[in-house]
Structure 1
Amino acid sequence: ASSRTSGAVPPKEEELRAAVEILRGHGLHSVLEEWFVEVLQNDLQANISPEFWNAISQRENSADEPQCLLLLLDALGLLENRLDPYLRSLELLEKWTRLGLLMGTGAQGLREKVHTMLRGVLFFSTPRTFQEMIQRLYGRFLRVYMQSKRKGEGGTDPELEGELDSRYARRRYYRLLQSPSCAGCGSDKQQCWCRQALEQFHQLSQILHRLGLLERVSADAVTTTLHQVTRERMEDRCRGEYERPFLREFHKWIERVVGWLGKVFLQDGPARPASPEAGHTLRRWRCHVQRFFYRIYAGLRIEELFSIIRDFPDSRPAIEDLKYCLERTDQRQQLLVTLKAALETRLLHPGVNTCDIITLYISAIKALRVLDPSMVILGVACEPIRRYLRTREDTVRQIVAGLTGDSDGTGDLAVELSKTDPASLETGQDSEDDSGEPEDWVPDPVDADPGKPSSQRRSSDIIGLLVSIYGSKDLFINEYRSLLADRLLHQFSFSPEREIRNVELLKLRFGEAPMHFCEVMLKDMADSRRINANIREEDEKRPAEEQPPFGVYAVILSSEFWPPFKDEKLEVPADVRAALEAYCKKYEKLKAMRTLSWKHTLGLVTMDVELADRTLSVAVTPVQAVVLLYFQDQASWALEELSEVVRMPVALLRRRMSVWLQQGVLREEPAGTFSVVEEERPQDRDSMVLVDSEDDSDSGLASQADQKEEELLLFWTYIQAMLTNLESLSLERIYSMLRMFVMTGPALAEVDLQELQAYLQRKPRAFCPELELDARGSTHTPVRNSKALPHPASEPYCEVSAFRRVPSGAGNYCECSLGLSREALVALIALLAGVSASCFCALVIVAVGILRAKNEPPCPGRMDNRVVGHFGVQEDRMDLHTVHVESHLMDPDLEASTMPPLEDHSLLTMEASLEEPPPPPPPPE
Structure 2
Amino acid sequence: MLRRDTLAQLGRALQGCFQHTLDTLSRDDTGRALEEARSLAALLERMGAKELSVEAAVAGTLSHLQAHLEERATRNASAPWLAEALEYTASWPLRLLQQLLPEAGASGWHLWEQRLRYFVYERAGLIFTDSLFDLVVDFPDSLPTLHDLRACLENTSLLSHVAQCFAAATKKRLLHPGAATSDIVQQYIFSIRAMRHVDPTDTALAPARAATQDYLRTRRDAIRCIVGLLTADEEGEDNVVLEELEGEGEAGGAGVGWGMGVPLIPCFDGPDADLQALAEAERWRPEPVDAVERVTGSDAVSQLVGIWGSKDLLVTEYRSLLADRLLAKQGYDCDRELRTLELLKLRFGDAVLHTAEIMLKDLADSKRINANIRSAARCAARGERAATVTATMLSALYWPQGSVPAPDEADLRLPPDVGSWLEEYGQAYHALKAPRKLQWCPSQGVVQLEVTVGDQALELTVTPAQAITLLSFRERSEWGEAELAEQTGQTPAMARRNASFWAMAAYEPFILGMLANFDSLPQDRIHNMLKMFVSDPPYDKTLDQLSAFLAHLVAQERLTCGGGTMYKQKL
1:512 matched to 2:512? The reply is no
C-alpha deviation, 1:561, in angstroms? 1.2
Contact 1:658 1:689 in 2 (8 A): no
**Residue pairs, 1:425-464, within 5 angstroms:** 436-437=264-265, 444-448=287-291, 456-457=295-296, 459-464=297-302
Instruction: Decide which of 189, 200, 210 is 1:362's aligned counterpart.
Output: 189
**Residue pairs, 1:668-747, within 5 angstroms:** 680-684=536-540, 689-691=546-548, 693-695=550-552
Unaligned runs of 5+ in 2: 252-259, 267-279, 509-534, 557-571
* Structure 2 residue identity aligned to 1:411: N
C-alpha deviation, 1:335, in angstroms? 1.5
Contact 2:447 2:461 in 1 (8 A): yes
* Structure 2 residue identity aligned to 1:535: I
2:228 is aligned to 401
C-alpha deviation, 1:599, in angstroms? 1.7
* Structure 2 residue identity aligned to 1:125: D
* Structure 1 residue identity aligned to 2:72: R
Deviates more, 1:400-409 or 1:546-555: 400-409
1:495 is aligned to 333
Instruction: Decide which of 243, 247, 256 is 1:415's aligned counterpart.
Output: 243
1:473 is aligned to 311
1:583 matched to 2:425? The reply is yes
Cα distance in 2 for partners of 1:259, 1:533 equals: 83
Contact 1:587 1:595 in 2 (8 A): yes
C-alpha deviation, 1:524, in angstroms? 1.2
Cα distance in 2 for partners of 1:621, 1:318 equals: 54
CA deviations over 1:159-195 (Å, ceiling 9, x no partner): xxxxxxxxxxxxxxxxxxxxxxxxxxxxxxxxxxxx4
Cα distance in 2 for partners of 1:599, 1:622 equals: 10
Structure (1 or 2) with the larger CA radius of gyration: 1
1:600 is aligned to 442
SS in 1 for 2:331: coil
Cα distance in 1 for partners of 2:184, 2:74 equals: 24
CA separation of 1:681 and 1:412: change in aligned 2, threshold 3 A: closer
Contact 1:145 1:260 in 2 (8 A): no
2:360 is aligned to 522
Contact 2:201 2:287 in 1 (8 A): yes
Cα distance in 2 for partners of 1:570, 1:447 equals: 66
Instruction: Decide which of 77, 87, 91 is 1:256's aligned counterpart.
Output: 91
1:291 matched to 2:127? The reply is no
Instruction: Decide which of 498, 505, 510 is 1:663's aligned counterpart.
Output: 505
C-alpha deviation, 1:260, in angstroms? 4.0
1:137 is aligned to 17
1:542 is aligned to 380
**Residue pairs, 1:641-656, within 5 angstroms:** 641-656=483-498
Contact 1:356 1:409 in 2 (8 A): no
* Structure 1 residue identity aligned to 2:435: M
1:635 is aligned to 477
- Give the helix-richer structure, 1 or 2: 2
**Residue pairs, 1:41-440, within 5 angstroms:** 121-126=1-6, 130=10, 133-149=13-29, 195=32, 197-217=33-53, 219-220=55-56, 222-239=57-74, 241=76, 243-262=78-97, 265=100, 273=102, 275-276=103-104, 282-283=109-110, 285-406=112-233, 408=236, 411-419=239-247, 436-437=264-265
CA separation of 1:612 and 1:321: change in aligned 2, threshold 3 A: closer
Contact 1:261 1:282 in 2 (8 A): no
Cα distance in 2 for partners of 1:235, 1:359 equals: 31
CA separation of 1:312 and 1:442: change in aligned 2, threshold 3 A: same
Aligned length: 499
1:624 is aligned to 466
Root mean square deviation, CA, Å: 3.4
C-alpha deviation, 1:383, in angstroms? 0.5
1:572 matched to 2:414? The reply is yes
Cα distance in 2 for partners of 1:284, 1:305 equals: 31
SS in 1 for 2:330: coil
What TM-score, normalized by structure 1, do the two folds share?
A: 0.49
Cα distance in 1 for partners of 2:541, 2:12 equals: 78
Contact 1:144 1:198 in 2 (8 A): no
CA separation of 1:255 and 1:565: change in aligned 2, threshold 3 A: same
Cα distance in 2 for partners of 1:657, 1:698 equals: 18
C-alpha deviation, 1:618, in angstroms? 0.9
SS in 2 for 1:610: strand
Contact 1:570 1:601 in 2 (8 A): yes
CA deviations over 1:279-317 (Å, ceiling 9, x no partner): 676455434322222221111111111111122222222
Contact 1:610 1:616 in 2 (8 A): yes
Contact 1:422 1:509 in 2 (8 A): no
Contact 1:134 1:218 in 2 (8 A): no
CA separation of 1:408 and 1:259: change in aligned 2, threshold 3 A: same
Deviates more, 1:247-256 or 1:651-660: 651-660
C-alpha deviation, 1:131, in angstroms? 5.0
CA deviations over 1:696-733 (Å, ceiling 9, x no partner): 6769xxxxxxxxxxxxxxxxxxxxxxxxxxxxxxxxxx
1:560 matched to 2:397? The reply is yes
CA deviations over 1:71-126 (Å, ceiling 9, x no partner): xxxxxxxxxxxxxxxxxxxxxxxxxxxxxxxxxxxxxxxxxxxxxxxxxx225222
Report which structure shows greater RCO (CA 8 Å, sep ≥6). 2
C-alpha deviation, 1:397, in angstroms? 2.8
Contact 1:422 1:508 in 2 (8 A): no
Contact 2:186 2:241 in 1 (8 A): no
**Residue pairs, 1:837-848, within 5 angstroms:** none
C-alpha deviation, 1:396, in angstroms? 2.3
Contact 1:214 1:265 in 2 (8 A): no
C-alpha deviation, 1:475, in angstroms? 2.2
**Residue pairs, 1:890-909, within 5 angstroms:** none
Unaligned runs of 5+ in 1: 1-120, 153-194, 267-272, 424-431, 667-678, 700-925
C-alpha deviation, 1:582, in angstroms? 2.2
Cα distance in 2 for partners of 1:625, 1:242 equals: 60
CA separation of 1:686 and 1:403: change in aligned 2, threshold 3 A: closer
Cα distance in 1 for partners of 2:484, 2:150 equals: 70
C-alpha deviation, 1:240, in angstroms? 8.2
C-alpha deviation, 1:566, in angstroms? 5.9
C-alpha deviation, 1:223, in angstroms? 4.3
Contact 1:358 1:410 in 2 (8 A): no
Cα distance in 2 for partners of 1:403, 1:632 equals: 45
CA separation of 1:320 and 1:124: change in aligned 2, threshold 3 A: same
